[in-house]
Amino acid sequence: MLTATLLKGMSRSGARASHRTRAIAQQMMSTASSAATSEPPVIFESNLAVRTYILNRPLKLNALDEPMLALLRPKIEEWSASDLCGTIVGTGVGRAFCAGGDVASVVEKASNPETRAEAVDFFKREFEMDYILASLPKPYVAILDGHTMGGGVGLAAHAPFRIATENTVFAMPETKIGYCPDVGGSYFMSRLDGEMGTYLALTGNTLRGRHVFESGFATHYIPSRRIPILLDRLAGLENAHVSVINSTVEEFTAERLPEEPPLTLVGEVRDALDYAFRHNMVEKIIQDLGTLAEHPSPAISQWAKQVSGALHLRSPTSLKVALKAIRQGKKMTLLQALEMELKIATAYCVSNLLIVFVFVPEEHYLDHQNGASPDFATGVRAVLGPEKGKRNAPIEWSPSTLEGVSDEIVARFFAPDSTYLSSAPSLSIPRHLKSDAGTHKPMKYALPTEDEIGAMVRGSHSAGGGTGLSLDELVSSFDNVRNGKIGVRKKVLEVARRRCEIQDNGGDGNFVWLKWKHQLNKP
């Protein structure tokens, strides 16, 4: 039996060991922190014909700031023109690819008339970077292994290859901070299936892991442990043609595992989503969600209640501005959409109400009565400021209701004669890239879109024959078009069950074919 003295000695020895362990851990953390601060915020690597940029602000989840943009653009333009560069890869250190832009710094600069132009200039340079990446003459692969939000989405959305992993967390959460989806969001979100983009843009809700691929944002899903091997394979390719890169990436994809969470925005819930978010007025979307909240289907009613509750927490001004931008962006080229979004960003930044300084005591906030909207500053202060995570009350938006957001307020962000847009700059795009506007096809290597499936059913698809396809024939057609791509069968079947009717003219089952539904039915 151990004596009390021995136990006491062991206790002191354990305490000293514990103290040494803590000291060593603190020293290691301090050293790591010092190393992190001494490293550049973007790292550039060359491996044979592959050129990789690595976003390197892990403690900030690689949020984009001015130094990062200043490093990125010249290097990307250099690689774009280099004969030695075959493929460009984008990735990030730590738990994120890129969790967004450094909006706290932007709002701080917008609060001061002397630095307000710098706030607008940040958006200008960010959007220019997004367009340059979208128009690269070289294959571009974005590795979305971690948080990919806001500004990070802009870096990746227009790449021909967008690779999600089990760690991917995708969102455009701007309405949560009183702002509006940008970085080309009005372009690419408006082109997702049905009203998925409208739903994501207004709610700011997240997609995770394989769902990012199955919902159409990512082109491929690869387990994160396979990414290093993939990058080595890409570096060894003698032929960097996009078709070769696609077949190489496909080798590393993985089938859905039984334990993976199923996609929830399918079937009747997806019908409800498209039905509710089809409107051009936020008030009508809210109204339909209220009706669907009483739906006899538990899945629909629960979804509608959750979404309605989320929208009531968002900035009413942001909701209306975002919806209008999404609807207009669908008719625009990418460059036109980015120009529109730069005007919207300018309107938020030149608002007199942005005199509010984000990180000063609340009693020192200045209150003004004029401006495009105070909500950007209010939202950033509440979500990203010193009090983040400490408040339980909803954010105090102004106006606080959708009814209070008049057409005149929304026009401040869009009208050609809006005084809030008079100082908006234009994007400076390299001349040789302007002709490429709208020619990139970011969905070419993704799962087939709903519109593409509809075209095949109607007989107007470039790879299809006439009408009269059976369900098996439809699936087989896309299996051939996508060369056996994982996830195609599941996607085609899900869309066909929602958007197609079974036709059996003889009534005997000898000739059964699909007919596309051109209108949405109320769930």
**DSSP conformation class of 101:** B
Mean pLDDT of 105-112: 88
**b/e code 94-133 from CB counts within 10 Å (16+ = b):** bebbbbbbbbbbbbbbbbeeeebbbbbbbbbbbbbbbbbb
The two structure tokens encoding residue 47 = 């491996």
pLDDT at 28: 40
Q: Per-residue pLDDT for 27 more than 70?
A: no
pLDDT at 464: 73
Of 150 and 466, more confident = 150
Pairing of strands 161-164, 169-171: unpaired
DSSP class per residue in 347-369:
HHHH-GGGGS-TTS-GGG----S
Looking at the chain, the whole-number percentage of residues with pLDDT higher than 70 is 84
Domain with residues 450-516, CATH architecture: 2-Layer Sandwich (3.30)
What element of type H or E holds 148? strand 147-149
The overall average pLDDT reported for the chain is 87
Of 16 and 293, more confident = 293
Of 356 and 402, more confident = 402
**Is domain 42-171+216-257 annotated with CATH 3.60.70.12?**
no
For CATH 3.90.226.10, list the domain ranges present in the chain.
42-171+216-257, 265-424
Top mean-pLDDT range of 190-194, 432-436, 507-511: 190-194
Contact 346, 430 (CB under 8 A): no
Tens digit of each residue's pLDDT (9 = 90 or more) over 176-225: 999 999 999 999 999 999 999 999 999 999 999 999 999 999 999 999 99
> Looking at 31-45, 60-74, 457-471, which range is the least confident one?
31-45
Tens digit of each residue's pLDDT (9 = 90 or more) over 324-372: 999 999 999 999 999 999 999 999 998 644 334 344 344 333 333 346 8
For CATH 3.30.420, list the domain ranges present in the chain.
450-516
Q: Per-residue pLDDT for 403 more than 60?
A: yes
CATH of domain 265-424: 3.90.226.10
Pairing of strands 220-221, 207-208: unpaired
Tens digit of each residue's pLDDT (9 = 90 or more) over 191-202: 999 999 999 999
Tens digit of each residue's pLDDT (9 = 90 or more) over 274-328: 999 999 999 999 999 999 999 999 999 999 999 999 999 999 999 999 999 999 9
What element of type H or E holds 431? helix 431-434
